[in-house]
Structure 1
């Protein structure tokens, strides 16, 4: 029978024995939805969604590591792997969401209605995402060192707060764009046949799940190593695994592969220039 064990230096990495059943269930669920995303990615050649598929792979690795940690609670590697990969996966989801907004704007040839120019939407938000990725990744690594656990948590917390701020600014950008689009005259509408509204709703749904998970993580790390959220397993699944799985399902259902700027035509019938070229990763 598995039991909670400390590392050689006496430091306990876990406050509980990770559930094998829960870990297996979510490993399988994320494997299935990630496989679907990978299939859609290569079938549609919408390579700007690649970070989303990689994020799904991170989720698979993270929950598989939790399964492996069930009877290895005194070993560092399974703990580090699950901690880092589950922490970083939503950042990759966010990177794709940022690029989707830029695609939506360019697909309807409506850059004038965005508070930020298309080329800067990706550069600003994905740039912040990269910084967040590096901060949280380094903090998660430091957390594995027992004597520096508090320092690592503080670094991760700073990265999570930056991620939330970035996400809020991003959502403000999306909402302003939507309101301006809805307010303009029907005679000015150059987006006949463009499914921008449903993809914007999908973007909001995925963003809400990522934001919910990020707020949970901020509270989790803010309470400290002995706080309730880090000391119990169920919050990780209910407030992290479930929202991220829902986000992946939403993104799969409303897959943005049809947002192809180079294929959208203007009112005169001439093809628009490929304003989305700068969005390719």
Structure 2
């Protein structure tokens, strides 16, 4: 379209929807499909403002995330083999793999911001990956309750596995929302609502779990002080356990903060949203928050938290507690039960 044709456009046609090409001719947004599987815009024909994110993802930053998650995947695979913590390692490896696929999609968006398959790949994978990380936390902390003091928990430790079921529901909702958005070229409000429901449910589950675990720790420490005020706290919760719980708490808070951010980000949907166009905020609250959480879960690995050298020391203190409370009957610890605490995670 040459300059003379512009006069035939409607008078209220937004000027930001008109673009001049390097050869001097003009195009307008109505000439292209700018979103969906049939999108035909390219960087040669359309301005970046016509893409869903209105920016080209930073190439170097997204490659950095791919490299970081590949390294973290290798570390968690090694630690899982080293400590035989297969469930924990499996969840962590799956989450890292999802992150790698997601950021690979963002690398593709750098070269073509209208690549719809790349958009959906990164949207579904990066949104869903933290579900696997929270599942690893649920497994680990349920085992920690069994290890330290099942009597101090208001609910049996095995019931904490229901949080993993809730995680699966979150994953299904987020995946279904992404699939529906794919089928409807991203314009389906139902797809956005499903993804939003998955994220909101994930936040609720995280908050409930956090409350239950804080309640357990408070009851446990009170029980220790009530039964054996002469036992130093370091003999009940050793330094590696302090690091273990501290790093799990750090990871938990990073994931929770990220989920709250994603709920707010998706609240306006994909098309015409001002909330999804801030890449620096995305890098900080999505990218870095989850990287920090995965690193914290390396440091707070259950293999470190339940080492044999620590178990003997802790078992001695706990058996004394049981002797006081249970009139000589040791209920919490037995050699068969605690033989491989780290391996069962």
2:84 to 45, 51, 61: 45
Q: What does residue 176 of structure 1 align with?
A: 215
- How many Å apart are 1:280 and its aligned residue? 5.4
Structure 2 residue 239 is matched with structure 1 residue 199: no
1:55 to 85, 95, 99: 95
* Unaligned 5+ runs, structure 2: 1-31, 41-49, 320-329
> Is the contact made by 1:5 and 1:12 (CA closer than 8 Å) also made in structure 2?
no
* Unaligned 5+ runs, structure 1: none
Q: Matches of 1:5 and 1:175 in 2, distance apart?
A: 51
Q: 1:5 to 1:255 in 2, by over 3 A?
A: farther
Structure 2 residue 206 is matched with structure 1 residue 167: yes
Superposition map of 1:60-75 within 5 A: 60-75=100-115
1:155 to 190, 194, 200: 194
Q: What does residue 139 of structure 1 align with?
A: 177
Q: What does residue 131 of structure 2 align with?
A: 91
TM-score (norm 2): 0.72
Worse overlay, 174-183 or 232-241: 232-241
Q: Matches of 1:47 and 1:222 in 2, distance apart?
A: 37
**Other structure's SS at 2:55 match:** coil
1:244 to 290, 296, 315: 290
TM-score (norm 1): 0.87
> Is the contact made by 1:31 and 1:60 (CA closer than 8 Å) also made in structure 2?
yes
2:299 to 243, 253, 260: 253
Aligned length: 275
**Other structure's SS at 1:230 match:** coil
Worse overlay, 160-169 or 72-81: 72-81
Q: What does residue 118 of structure 1 align with?
A: 157
Point out the structure with max Rg over C-alpha: 2
Q: What does residue 128 of structure 1 align with?
A: 166
Q: Matches of 2:282 and 2:169 in 1, distance apart?
A: 24
1:211 to 256, 275, 279: 256
1:77 to 110, 113, 117: 117
Q: Deviations over 1:35-69 (max 9, x none)?
A: 21111111211112120121011111111111122
> Is the contact made by 1:229 and 1:235 (CA closer than 8 Å) also made in structure 2?
no
Worse overlay, 82-91 or 9-18: 9-18
Q: What does residue 275 of structure 2 align with?
A: 229
**Other structure's SS at 2:34 match:** coil
> Is the contact made by 2:196 and 2:263 (CA closer than 8 Å) also made in structure 1?
yes
Q: 1:235 to 1:142 in 2, by over 3 A?
A: farther
Q: Matches of 1:210 and 1:147 in 2, distance apart?
A: 26
Q: Matches of 2:34 and 2:167 in 1, distance apart?
A: 34
